[in-house]
Structures are given as C-alpha cells and as structure tokens.
Chain A
Amino acid sequence: GQQLNQSPQSMFIQEGEDVSMNCTSSSIFNTWLWYKQEPGEGPVLLIALYKAGELTSNGRLTAQFGITRKDSFLNISASIPSDVGIYFCAGQGEAGATNKLIFGTGTLLAVQP
C-alpha cells in the first residue's frame, strides 16, 4: 500500500530541546493530520490541517500544511519525557480516494530527561 515519506525516521533528544519532523508526498492531499502513537495503543489525533498554508498550534505543537499540498511539518517545542512515542503524519482526500487516510512511515521520538 501507499505510504507517505516521513523524516527523520527517529530522533533521540534531550528534554527541553525543540523537535521538527516533516512529511512529503508525490500526491496532493486536501487534509493533513498528525497523530501520536504509544506502544500497544491506537493513534491519537494531535493536529488537523485543512487548508494549504494553514499553520495550527496545539499547546507546544505546531503544524503547517504546505502550500503545494504535498507536504506538512510538525514542530514540538521544549520537549518533555512524555512526548516519547511514534509520530505519524497522514494525508486524506487524495484525488479519487477522498475517504482514505494514508499514513507516513513514522518518526520515533525518544526524550532523555
């Protein structure tokens, strides 16, 4: 199945550092979503983006919907140990498949106290 390219694959940082990850696609999406998944759990929605160029914040998290509609980034500021998990981007609304959610390959984040 199709996946979106997400980078970096993993990050190991110190508490307090800022984090940035991004997602790119060869296809255009109408919606970009960012999820966090912890071991043995389903993904939890962090931020949803609906318009090209949109910049949205949720606490220490900020995400942007790329102008080309083919990319998105997620920033986490002042990381804390509970930010540990796998972060997935997801695109929705690809031409001809408006309901489907296509996931990125994931970014594993480890935060050292």
Chain B
Amino acid sequence: GAVVSQHPSWVICKSGTSVKIECRSLDFQATTMFWYRQFPKQSLMLMATSNEGSKATYEQGVEKDKFLINHASLTLSTLTVTSAHPEDSSFYICSARDRGQGREKLFFGSGTQLSVL
C-alpha cells in the first residue's frame, strides 16, 4: 500500500515555542492531505484539509493562525503549532489521498506525539 511518512514521531517542547510537523507521501503524489488531532482514548478529529498550492481549509473551532499549514509540493505538507501551550499536547496525525489507486483511499502517517511543558 501507499506510504505516508510523518516526522518527528514525538517532540517535547517548552510552552511558547513553535513546532513543525512534516507529512510526506513517499510513493504517490497527494494534492490533498489532512491533519487530525487525537486526544488520549478519543477518536481522530479532523483539524484541516491541506491543498497543494492553495490555502488550507480549517474545521470549525480550529485556529488557523495557531495551526499553520503549508502544502508547498505534491508530496509534502507541514503543520506548525505556533506558540504551543500545554493544552496543545496531543497526538497529531496526517493523511494523504492517493487518487492513483482508482479509488478514494486515504493513507495515514504514524503520528506525532506532541508534549508541551
């Protein structure tokens, strides 16, 4: 199956700093990528849709100035958590849509555990 690489796997940072998470599609081009957040023992909640070459679309309640998304190429989307605070600590997961398989299939990265001290 298609491979989506997410980096870093985990990050610990001080409150007030910014953290960048990368999501790469390794063997296919992804015009659309999605960013999810998952709190412990909860489901994945969609944060935003990242579109190559255009602005991201954010879900209701997600601050676009706090969660900056850049989708500069067909294989890379980045999520930057700006001025992170402890309440931003969560498991962040990206996914990429592989149209090449003839069906709308989404493949997920392995996630990034963010801990803000």
Interfacial residues, chain A to chain B (CB-CB below 8 A): 1, 3, 31, 33, 35, 40-45, 48, 50, 88, 92-93, 99-106
Contacts and interface: CB of A to CB of B under 8 A. Distances in A.
A3 B110 CA distance: 21
The size class of the interface chain B forms with chain A is 20 to 34
29 contacts: A1-B45, A1-B46, A1-B59, A1-B60, A1-B61, A31-B104, A35-B108, A40-B9, A40-B110, A41-B110, A42-B93, A42-B95, A42-B110, A43-B44, A43-B108, A45-B107, A48-B103, A48-B105, A50-B103, A88-B43, A92-B104, A99-B34, A99-B49, A100-B34, A100-B49, A101-B95, A101-B106, A105-B43, A106-B43
Contacts of A102: 46
B107 A41 contact: no
Contacts of A35: 108
Nearest to B107: A45
Nearest to A108: B41
A43 B93 contact: yes
Contacts of B45: 1, 3, 103
B21 to A, nearest CB: 12
Contacts of A99: 32, 34, 49, 97, 104
A100 B46 contact: yes
Q: Report whether over half of chain A's contact residues are helix, strand or loop; otherwise say mixed.
A: strand
A40 B46 contact: no
B15 interface: no
